[in-house]
Amino acid sequence: MLRRSIRKIRASLTVRILLITAFILTAACLITCYFLMWATPISYDSILGNIEVERAMRLAGELSYVTIEEIGGIIERFKQENRVEITIFDNQGNEVVIRSSEMYEQGDGDVYVAVMEDSGTWSNNSMGVGVSAQFIFQDSDEVYQLVVASSVATTNYTAQAMRDVLPVLIAVILLISFLGALFYSRYITRPIVRLSGLSQKITGLDFSCRSNETRADEIGVLGRNMDELSDNLSATLEQLNEVNEKLQKDIDTEREVERRRTEFFTAVSHELKTPLTILSGQISGMLEGVGIYQDREKYLPRSLSVVRRMEKLVAELLVITKMEQSDEKPTSEVVLLSELVEKKIEDISELALLRLQKVETVIAPGIQIIGDEDLIQKAVSNLLSNAVIHSPERAKITVLLEDKKLIVRNTGVHIPQEDLSHLLEPLYRVDSSRNSKTGGSGIGLYLVKMVLDRHNATCAINNTADGVEVVVEFSCVSRGRFC
């Protein structure tokens, strides 16, 4: 129990200041009381001695103006007024008997044993204090010694009274000391306790509390400094959180890019492996003259077709890799978009004719853009080729170019709704296109997207009532002038 109380006292600044202050006040009051009890007798004797000296000097002055026969009345009156005893000695030390008009004799009073000191003050027993003074009667040249003795004992009544009320005095002292210490400790420690609570909340990263100190002393300065520290920490923590969030987003983006890159190269490896396996089997069969591969005239063109597909795939991969690794903007040159689209339509016309497809065009003349002509050419070529390749026979291909938009429509085919948003992703192919006739690799549309992104253009693929529509919108287009 005692140890627990000691630990609580050590842990509480208010209690410690309360106890220390109460002890100091109690000790100060008790020391003051005992000092008064000790100093009062000394002060009392000193004051009493000074009074007696003054009386003796005044009486000696009065006696010097009368004769020895006239002193009786003066001394009797002086004794009654001041309650003292008076003795006169001649120069031989003999006591002079003083008789008043009432036949008063010295012998009837108290007897004093007095010793004369150099200072003129006579010390006596505990009965009183005596002083002496020299004078000369008016009718005599002899020097007489006047001794005035107080009949009041030098009792220290103040000290005695203080001893009598000492228990009550101690209780009052303790009460006053405790109340004063309580007020003082609360006045001193209350702001400190409040600041301690504020510091604990700051430690817990709670910056909403304020000390609101208005004091001008050091505690007020400390409170305002803690408020400023809390604001600075809050602002710094917010900035740090923003930086961490941005860093986390960058990390997540980098991880996503790395994941997609890994998936991309894995898919590319698979795309290259399949035609290589086919090509290896065809060439081996033709070289060894095995089975159907003995007809070289039939399978050599097929092998060449596989090689060209691989060549096209590798070329697209090189373009994509170059664009991914380069942060530079595309070449800024004037591209005659109207002429470029017409030329690419001519390139696919033969393939469309072989598939019995009809190509309709509405090309506005004089459309120009600023960009890299080689990249724009690859993107337009891929869009038109996909429209022809992924459309059935006798389908209709429509190409429109007007203002900022290039629209390519093909009929006879639809894309599942869940696949539309993924068509521009690398190596993504709709299941229905995974056949040898279409030869889709999933690289063409991804290349289109990368080229358009570098030219701040957009591409949207949607299903129509009778087919699929691709809409490309360029951001820098003009008729007959630079953008």
Percent of the chain with pLDDT over 70: 78
What is the average per-residue pLDDT within 439-461?
Answer: 80
pLDDT at residue 128, rounded to an integer:
53
**Better pLDDT: 481 or 310:** 310
pLDDT at 416 over 80: yes
Contact criterion met (CB below 8 Å) for 385 and 444: yes
pLDDT at residue 15, rounded to an integer:
74
pLDDT at residue 406, rounded to an integer:
92
pLDDT at residue 102, rounded to an integer:
43
pLDDT at residue 427, rounded to an integer:
66
pLDDT at residue 44, rounded to an integer:
66
* pLDDT band of 297, cuts 50, 70, 90: confident
**Better pLDDT: 434 or 442:** 442
Topology annotation, domain 329-479:
Heat Shock Protein 90 (3.30.565)
* pLDDT band of 429, cuts 50, 70, 90: low
pLDDT at residue 10, rounded to an integer:
63
What is the average per-residue pLDDT within 344-363?
Answer: 88
Contact criterion met (CB below 8 Å) for 94 and 109: no
Q: Lowest mean pLDDT of 15-19, 49-53, 98-102, 455-459, name the range.
A: 98-102
Q: Lowest mean pLDDT of 86-100, 226-240, 335-349, name the range.
A: 86-100
Dist CA 312 CA 423 (whole Å): 19
Query: Which tens digits make up the pLDDT trace of 132-176?
Result: 888 888 777 788 888 887 755 545 566 677 677 778 778 887 888
Write the CB contacts of 383 (distance below 8 Å, at least 6 apart in sequence): 406, 408, 448, 470, 472
The four Cα atoms 155, 156, 159, 162 give a dihedral, to 10 degrees, of 70
pLDDT at residue 435, rounded to an integer:
44
pLDDT at 481 over 70: no
* pLDDT band of 409, cuts 50, 70, 90: very high
**Better pLDDT: 377 or 12:** 377
- Give the residues across from 150 on adjacent strands: 84
* pLDDT band of 421, cuts 50, 70, 90: confident
pLDDT at residue 113, rounded to an integer:
30
Q: pTM of the prediction?
A: 0.45
Contact criterion met (CB below 8 Å) for 367 and 337: yes
Contact criterion met (CB below 8 Å) for 152 and 82: no
**Better pLDDT: 118 or 87:** 87
**Better pLDDT: 116 or 255:** 255
**Better pLDDT: 205 or 102:** 205
Contact criterion met (CB below 8 Å) for 405 and 457: no
pLDDT at 400 over 90: yes
Contact criterion met (CB below 8 Å) for 399 and 362: yes
Percent of the chain with pLDDT over 90: 8
Closest C-alpha among 334, 337, 341, 421 to residue 370? 334
**Which position has the token pair 């009460």?**
175
Query: Which tens digits make up the pLDDT trace of 197-250?
Result: 788 877 777 777 777 777 677 777 777 887 888 888 888 888 998 999 999 998
Every domain of the chain and the residues it spans: 2-169, 329-479
pLDDT at residue 108, rounded to an integer:
38
* pLDDT band of 432, cuts 50, 70, 90: very low
CATH architecture of 2-169: 2-Layer Sandwich (3.30)
